[in-house]
Amino acid sequence: MDYFKYKNGALFAEDVTVSKIAEEIGTPFYCYSAITIENQFSDLKNALAGLPTTICYAVKANSNIAVIKLLADMGAGADVVSSGELTRALKAGVPAKKIVFSGVGKTANELTHALKENILQINIESEPELIALNEIAGVMNKKAQVALRINPDVDAETHNKISTGRSEDKFGIEWIHTNDVISRAKKLKNIEIIGLAMHIGSQLTKLDPFKQAFIRLEQIVKDLRANGHKITRLDLGGGLGISYDGLPAPTPAEYGKLVKATFKDLNCDLLFEPGRFIVGDSGILVTQVIYVKNGTTRRFLIL
């Protein structure tokens, strides 16, 4: 929280006292540091410099339109998981051709919405979803650009509830079936497979799980190309963690070095979906104590 500091007993957000904001707009409110968001985005972008990269901010991390617009103005795309998030991203100024639609439970209406807006790609998580999208695209006389989300069976070594890349997790297509699924997908008239996607979890505080997953993905791409499949784009997801307890987390520079070591020679466009890393350390919730209630064993502050 570098840009939220106490000075002479007053809490500042960048160069503005939080109490002054409260006086002007009332409480409760969320207060975000634009400098923090800009610095985090720039650090990641610089770490990936030299690669054909698009950073698609994961809107689920914070869907405040002002936050999305700030990032869009810096050149960010958006990773969305619902029609609502897609609408917000477009309203905030994210170009449709920088929007990726992810998520395991996309409805027919959401797939239709994505196709109507001509977004960059839809990340497909199962064969039933692929078949449903083909039918919807056929009715709309469109060809859907999709990336298959691969489950690499790698433990992200993070909290169980935010691990998404193990074989028992509901996300993605098991990596051993990638070639068969793509072979079947190529027979669908309204589907164009342009690449692969992968996201093994959130709040990763070690680089080794990324390394394992990246090496597996690299080999999958080489195997697919050897079998005649054209792969031109890789969505490497997000997951880069931040520090909550003072312990070090991987830096963007360390992450970027790993990405370059694995993918620089694959000749693929690369997408990234950071969320928490960009905004997790950027905001505070400001409330006011309106009552103090004395109980038998404790005192309560009513906000």
Structure tokens at 161: 């509830």
- The pLDDT, as a whole number, for residue 159 is 59
Which residues make beta-bridge pairs with 101? Answer: 80, 122
Low-confidence ranges of the chain (pLDDT < 50): none
Output the pLDDT for position 237.
95
One-letter amino acid of 172: G
User: Residue 20: its pLDDT value, please?
Assistant: 96
What's residue 73's pLDDT?
A: 98
Burial letters for 103-127: b for 16+ Cβ neighbours within 10 Å, e otherwise? bbebeeebbbbbbebebbbbbbbbe
Predicted pLDDT at 176: 87
Give residue 301's pLDDT.
96
Show Cβ contacts of residue 288 under 8 Å, excluding neighbours closer than 6 positions: 22, 27, 28, 303
pLDDT of residue 217: 95
Q: What is the pLDDT of residues 262-293, one digit of tens each?
A: 999 999 999 999 999 999 999 999 999 999 99
The whole model's pTM is what?
A: 0.92
What is the pLDDT, as a whole number, of residue 246?
A: 82
- Spatial CA neighbour of 90 closest among 65, 108, 112: 65
Tens digit of pLDDT for each residue in 212-236? 999 999 999 999 999 999 999 999 9
- Four-residue CA torsion sign, 270, 60, 69, 36: negative
Would you state the pLDDT for residue 1?
A: 72
Our CA angle for 62, 259, 180, nearest 5°, is 90
pLDDT of residue 201: 87
b or e along 257-284 (b: 16 or more beta carbons within 10 Å of the residue's beta carbon)? ebbbebbeeeebebbbbbbbbbbbbbbe
Question: What is the pLDDT at residue 165?
Answer: 55
